[in-house]
Amino acid sequence: MDQFKKVDLASGVEGFSICTDRFKTSRISVNMFVPLRKETVSANALLSCLLTRATRKYPTYTHLNAKLDELYGAALYGDVAKVGDMQMLKFVIAVLDDKYTLNGEVISGDATELLLSMIFDPLLNDEGLFDEKDFESEKRLLVERIKGEINEKRIYAIKRTEGEMCKNEPYGLPKYGTLEDAQALTNADVVNALKYAVDNAFIRVNVISESYPEAVFQSVSEFFKDKKRTVTQKDITKKHIPNDELIQISEKMDVTQAKLCMGFSADFNDDLQSRINARVTADLFGGGPYSRLFKTVREEQSLCYYCAARINLKKRILMVDSGILEENKEKAYNGILEQLSVLQQGKFDESELLASKMALMDSAKTVCDTPAELDGWYTAYALYDTAVTTDEFVEKINNVTKQDVIDIANSIKLDTVYFLGSENFEKGE
Amino acid sequence: MKQTFINKELKESCAFYQHKSGVKIYVAEKPEYSSAYAIFGTRYGSIDTAFKRREQQEFITVPEGIAHFLEHKLFESEDGDAFSRYAKTGAMANAYTSFDRTCYLFSCSSNFEESFRILLDFVQNPYFTEATVQKEQGIIGQEINMYDDSAPWRLLFNLLNALYHNHPVKIDIAGTRESIAKINADLLYSCYNTFYNLNNMFICVAGNVKAEDVFKIADELLRNTEPVYIDRARVDEPEQIVKSKVEMNLPVATPMFAIGYKETCESPTRTIKERVCTDVILKVLFGSASPLYKKLFDAALINDSFSAEYFYGHGYSSIIVEGESQQPEKVYDIINQEIESVRKNGIDKNAFESAKKSLYGSCVSVYNSVENTVMSMVSAAFAEEGIFDYTEYVKDMTYEDVCCRFENILKKEFSAISVVKSK
């Protein structure tokens, strides 16, 4: 059994360590949570990449990457993600454990220093700004990344549905902001985003390593020693408020396969058991190959290549997405609603519920088997008051009954329908 | 025959069992992990379009996409599909077909034995009827539609069609709607009986399992069959490429490019030395610490999607460099100039040392996950190499090996560029 430990490093700054000798690498992640806001969403996105471009010691991207190669190909990256109505800036370094280096080099210290200096002692010029050239290149990349969101139609369709469904809530913002937001960014905006994150974000530092994480934690505490921090709200997330009328959006593009996305609102309490009841319901609806959508809409009716459901437990949003022949739009739409009604009326077998529970329990237990998944699991619980171990999760899944599923299913209401068809498809059909 | 391979530096080991049925079985025990991952695979992929069993007179040519079709169909049996059997164990099951192999897999953290029995059972028991074949044509037709819309996928196959005249690597793994319409139950059985012969197959397992338990179940469930010798029709692939440029319109934000350098193959497979040296050269030349990367990046000609890979299989090998750019042609020119300049000035020695360390680091990190461990076992089993050979060679390779290899690859005259951009 791995050993877990949570420590307070400063006001609103937590350290969380998982001590294990299972892996060949150590992984450190610094996770900073700030409210999702239209004004700052793009600045944070740019910040998450810009910080990983250079450090004081390795002032160019080329220097920095040569150093990473030197550290046996250590992986260093930054990114942003939406966690409910919060935006998470995540910075990670994953480096080979010292005992596996070829000539006995000690590389863990350098790796830790790289990550922490990048965030807490970043390379700024005399005016307190980022290098202008680095800023401009990273801005170009962000703009291209935002434009590139249409490349993957499946993801694009889901994002569009979420955006429309939650247009009056922070969660409706795109994770990198809009093209206009990104193009309008200034160097000072990004410096302000950094200052805000350091002074006001709730921060969680995770260390997954064989050796004791004390050195990492000490460096972080040291940095915050004389700093005043105010974390006003750890998490501002509110559940999605269902739209008064059904929202229907139709879009055309040069595509062969059409996409149909249906966003539903759900309602359940915030305690762990209720959240897990909802997770099981969504999985039984459209998770694995045993799920209703897979078995009927895909396999029996051959209406789509994929048809899946997933749930956002913080926002209480259930999203069904499918890839279909466009002439099957109505059939697929009705087929999906029919399966929801099967759940609502409890017309499913205990054996189906059991299959879903077993699959979820099984996959929860595999979380401990990769550093990235372990990191992701405990980061996801950072905003809740207590961390949930995979064992506790498994136990709660075991408790879910048929009636629990029926109750959750009956709280699910269709909210938004999005359809992406080809140029030839009749709009509003 | 059983034996165990141990690598003390990596603190890893792997048990091997040459089963009497012909199947090669590899098991890496990782008791400190919660889960296990298993693959039952065959040397049969999309490139196997013309073949015969040794006792047969004539080569048969089968419709494109049939290996992938067969993979879908194998999940079915007379009394339900394999997924519904796995649903009782909680395992997550899947399968994939690539250019040269088809693999059936599952991952689980409990009930390994039951899931492993399901795997061995359904892969050995085909069940195809005309009705089930017809239904599958609908589902796979949808999958093909999805690939038609995928810019990276079209980019790759357009490139392969520009590089290869005759080698079947240029055909889509799933085939076309027209080609799969020609598939019927008889053809499926014919492919199955040729390529799913146990002598052509391997099993790789890693994670929280005991090798002896795996071997015991294999002894119980693997059927002894007469070995089949497969002749694959010889492909005459000229050294030259088909055309140096191919372009397609699809809705993408920034134009995508893939540049391929076709390699002349004297033997159909690539040695470890060739692969390791190539991987290091790609890192030195195209990696994010390289002068080329800096030049292209500073000129705003590439973004962070820029990458290079060594793409190889039976009878084909190419280096593919891809990315996104407003000026793909310019990127192509600058890359060719850089290759020439490195030919003239030689590979930077420090860059070689760093690239070697970096490659070694990624080899070791493979053992972090049971899935990646199995994938590397599959590659080794497939190439009939020792499990740890690649990693060992990374340690041993010299600067001279790499320089020598560089002379034979990345030839401009055998290169082509594929571009996908919006209208």
**What is the per-residue DSSP string for B82-96?**
HHHHHTTTT-EEEEE
Where a domain ends, among B204, B232, B260?
A: B232
Q: Write out pLDDT tens, residues B201-215.
A: 999 999 999 999 999
Q: Which residue of A has its CA nearest to B369?
A: A370
Is A13 part of the contact surface with chain B (CB cutoff 8 Å)? no
Q: Is the pLDDT of residue B57 over 80?
A: yes
Same domain, B74 and B168: yes
Domain boundary among B184, B208, B232: B232
Distance (Å, whole) CA B185 – CA B394: 46
Quote the pLDDT of residue A2.
76
- B149:A257 CB<8 A: yes
Task: List chain A residues with CB under 8 Å of B361.
Answer: 71-74, 96
Digit-coded pLDDT (tens) for B15-35: 999 999 999 999 999 999 999
Same domain, B342 and B198: no
In chain A, residues with a C-beta closer than 8 Å to the C-beta of B291 are 62
Regarding whether B292 and B200 lie in a shared domain, the answer is no
CB A403 within 8 A of CB A253: no
Single-letter code of the amino acid located at B158: N
Is residue B272 situated within a structural domain?
A: yes
Contact A148 B146 (CB under 8 A): no
pLDDT, residue A426, reads 66
Which residues from chain B sit within 8 angstroms of residue A94, using beta carbons?
Answer: 365
**Contact call for A148 and B254, based on CB within 8 A:** yes
B395-410 per-position pLDDT tens digit: 999 999 999 999 999 9
How much of chain B exceeds pLDDT 70, in percent? 100
| Same domain, yes or no: B222 and B297 | no
Q: What is the mean pLDDT of residues B214-242?
A: 93
Q: Token pair 């500073």 is at which residue?
A: B298
Does residue B238 lie in a domain region? no
Please name the residues between 235 and 294 in chain A that touch chain B, using a CB distance below 8 Å.
Answer: 253-257, 288-290
For an interface test with A, which of B29, B30, B177, B354 has the most A Cβ atoms less than 10 Å from its Cβ? B354
Residue extents of the structural domains in chain A: 3-224, 247-422
Under DSSP, the state recorded for A238 is: -
Query: pLDDT tens across B215-225, in order?
Result: 999 999 999 88
Q: What is the pLDDT of residues A351-380, one digit of tens each?
A: 999 999 999 999 999 999 999 999 999 999
| C-alpha pair distances (Å), B343 with each of B337, B354, B401 | 10, 19, 15
Which chain A residues have a beta carbon less than 8 Å from that of B108?
A: 362
Domain that holds residue B119: 2-232
Task: Tell me which residue of B80, B77, B62 sits closest to B191, measured CA to CA.
Answer: B62
Q: Are residues B225 and B268 in the same domain?
A: no
The mean pLDDT value for A317-342 works out to: 96
Asked, for residue B152, whether it belongs to a domain, the answer is yes
- Give the tens place of pLDDT for each residue, A279-309: 999 999 999 999 999 999 988 888 888 999 9
Interface of A with B in 107-136 (CB under 8 A): 133
Q: Do A137 and B300 touch (CB under 8 A)?
A: yes
**How close B415 gets to chain A, by Cα (Å)?**
26
Residue whose structure tokens are 């089963």:
B19
Residues of chain B with Cβ-Cβ distance to A325 below 8 Å are 142, 145
Residues 6+ away with beta carbon under 8 Å from B200: B22, B42, B43, B44, B228, B230
Give the number of domains in chain B.
2
Which pair of tokens denotes residue B198? Answer: 């146990």
Residue A140, pLDDT > 50, answer yes
Q: Chain B contact for A21, CB < 8 A?
A: yes
Q: How far is CA B260 from CA A429, B254, B404, B412, in A?
A: 44, 20, 21, 9
Cα dihedral across residues B247, B249, B251, B255: positive or negative = positive
- Active-site residues of B: which are they? 71
Of A70, A140, A288, Cβ closest to residue B354: A70
Shared domain check, B197 and B116: yes
The answer to whether position B249 is within a domain reads yes
What CATH number is attached to the domain comprising B181?
3.30.830.10
Q: Which two tokens stand for residue A356?
A: 């879903």
Contact B283/A69, CB-based, under 8 Å? yes
Contact: B149, A255; criterion CB under 8 Å: yes
Is the model's pLDDT at A427 over the cut of 80?
no
Residue A428 pLDDT greater than 50, yes or no: no
**Backbone conformation region of residue A316, classed left if phi is above 0, alpha if psi is from -120 to 50, else beta:** left
Indicate whether B167 and B258 sit together in one domain: no
The answer to whether residue B239 is domain-embedded is no
| Band of pLDDT at residue B357, cut at 50, 70 and 90 | very high
Q: Is the same domain home to B346 and B410? A: yes
Measured CA to CA, the distance from residue A177 to residue B361 in angstroms comes to 35
B61 and B169: one domain? yes
Average pLDDT for residues B167-193, to the nearest whole number? 95
CB contacts under 8 A, A 201-240 vs B, are: none
On whether residue B240 sits in a domain, the answer given is: no
Residue B287: list chain A partners with CB under 8 A: 65, 69
Report, as an integer, the average pLDDT of A199-203.
Answer: 97
Give the class (CATH, top level) of A3-224.
Answer: alpha beta
B304 and B388 within one domain: yes
Average pLDDT over chain A, rounded to an integer: 94
Distance CA A261, CA A247 (A): 12
Q: Tell me how close the Cα of B146 comes to any Cα of chain A, in angstroms.
A: 6
Chain A, nearest residue to B422 by Cα: A254
Flag if B87 and A73 touch (Cβ within 8 Å): no
Closest Cα partner for B300 from A62, A180, A136? Answer: A136
pLDDT band at residue A1, thresholds of 50, 70 and 90?
A: low
The size of the A-B interface in CB pairs under 8 A is: 173
- pLDDT for the residue numbered B15: 97
Digit-coded pLDDT (tens) for A413-423: 999 999 999 98
Our CA-based measurement puts residue B72 at a distance from the nearest CA of chain A, in whole angstroms, of: 12
Nearest of B149, B158, B88 to residue B118 by alpha carbon: B88
- Is A323–B108 a contact, with Cβ atoms under 8 angstroms apart? no
Q: What is the dihedral of CA B299, A156, A374, A35, to 10 degrees?
A: 80
All residues of chain A having their beta carbon less than 8 Å from the beta carbon of residue B327 are none
A74 chain-B contacts, CB cut-off 8 A: 361
- Here the contacts of B239-244 (C-beta below 8 Å, separation 24 or greater) are B239/B264, B239/B414, B240/B165, B240/B414, B241/B162, B241/B163, B241/B414, B241/B415, B241/B416, B242/B161, B242/B162, B242/B163, B242/B164, B242/B165, B242/B416, B243/B162, B243/B416, B244/B162, B244/B415, B244/B416, B244/B417
Q: Are B70 and B217 in the same domain?
A: yes
The answer as to whether B32 is a domain residue is yes
Alpha-carbon gap, residue A313 to A383, rounded angstroms = 13
Question: Is A172 in contact with A41 (CB distance < 8 Å)?
Answer: no
- In angstroms, what CA-CA distances link B422 with A140, A330, B253, B418? 19, 30, 7, 14
Determine whether the interchain pair A144/B149 forms a contact, defined as Cβ–Cβ distance below 8 Å. no
Assigned domain for B110 exists: yes
Mean pLDDT over A323-348 rounds to 96
| CA angle B139–B63–B73, rounded 5-degree value | 40
Q: Is the pLDDT of residue A212 over 80?
A: no
Question: What is chain B's mean pLDDT, rounded?
Answer: 95
Instruction: Flag whether pLDDT at A429 surpasses 70.
Output: no
**Nearest CA distance, A102 vs chain B (angstrom):** 8
Judged by CB atoms closer than 8 Å, whether chains meet at B34 and A368 is answered as yes
Asked, colleague to colleague, whether A3-224 and A247-422 share their fold, the answer is: yes
The CATH number that domain A247-422 falls under is: 3.30.830.10
